[in-house]
Amino acid sequence: MPITLRNTTNYIAQFVIRKGGQIIARLPGIAPEAQMVVPTEGTYQVTAMTIIDGNTYTSAPMDVTGACSFLAQVLQVPQQGAYEFDVVQGHSTRPDQMQFQKTTLSPVTFTIDKDGVPMQAVVVADSFSMETLDISDTFHIYAVVNGVTTDTVSTANPNAEVTATSDTSTLEQGYFTLDVG
C-alpha cells in the first residue's frame, strides 16, 4: 500500500511521513511537477547503543515489521572478564506500539533505520521504564517547500494522494498547503 506524493509548486518539496509516531519516510525532495510513490509498510532495522565505563556498546541490527518490544541489558561474561551488551526482541503488549526498555545504568539509544538510513531514535534514560513509539494506522505528513514548513495533514488511508500546492488565495499568498485525496 503506497502513499503518492505530488509537488505542484515551483520549488522542491521535501516530505516527511509518520505512521503514528514512527517516521517511515524522510525524502530529500521532489522536483516541481513531479511525484513519488512511498510504501507504507516495510521492514525496519533497530540497533541499540550505550556507553559503559567509557566504552561504546552497540547491538546487532534486528529486523522489525510491526509491533514489538526491545529490552537492552548488560550481561557479565566472567570467562572473558568483560560485559556483553544484549538486546532481546519480544512481543509488544499493545498492537499499535513499539516498546523500548533497559536494565543498564547508562541511557540506551535505540535507532530505527530504513534501508540503512537512520529515521529516528528513541532514548531510554531510566531503568525499567518503558518508552513507546506509536505505530498506529494514521499517517501524518508535512512538507518543507522553499524553506517553509506546511501544516501537518493526517489520513488513515494507506493509499492516499498528498499534493503540495501553492496557496494563491488573497489572504495566504506565498504560502504552501498539502491537499489529501
DSSP line for 65-86: -SSEEEEEEEEEETTTTEEEEE
Q: Give residue-wise pLDDT tens across range 154-168.
A: 999 999 999 999 987
Residue 83 CB contacts under 8 Å (≥ 6 apart), including other chains: 52, 57, 74, 75, 76, 77
Q: For 6-23, b where at least 16 C-beta lie within 10 A, e where not — what string? A: bbebebbbbbbbbbbbbb
Bridge-partner residues for 74, per DSSP? 85
- Cα distances from 32 to residues 123, 145, 152, in angstroms, run 37, 10, 20
Per mean pLDDT, which range of 3-12, 47-56, 75-84 is the poorest?
A: 75-84
Report residue 87 as a C-alpha cell. 538486546
Higher-confidence residue: 135 or 171? 135
- Cα distances from 145 to residues 3, 164, 178, in angstroms, run 19, 8, 11
pLDDT of residue 4 exceeding 90, the answer is yes
With bands split at pLDDT 50, 70 and 90, how would you rate the model's confidence at 53? confident
Q: Give residue-wise pLDDT tens across range 61-75.
A: 999 989 999 999 989
pLDDT of residue 172: 59
Higher-confidence residue: 137 or 168? 137
Q: What is the mean pLDDT of residues 71-80?
A: 91
Report residue 18 as a C-alpha cell. 509518520
Work out the mean pLDDT of the chain and round it to a whole number.
Answer: 92
Q: What is the mean pLDDT of residues 135-148?
A: 94
Its pTM stands at: 0.86
Q: What is the mean pLDDT of residues 40-51?
A: 93
Higher-confidence residue: 115 or 174? 115
pLDDT of residue 56 exceeding 90, the answer is yes
pLDDT of residue 175: 85
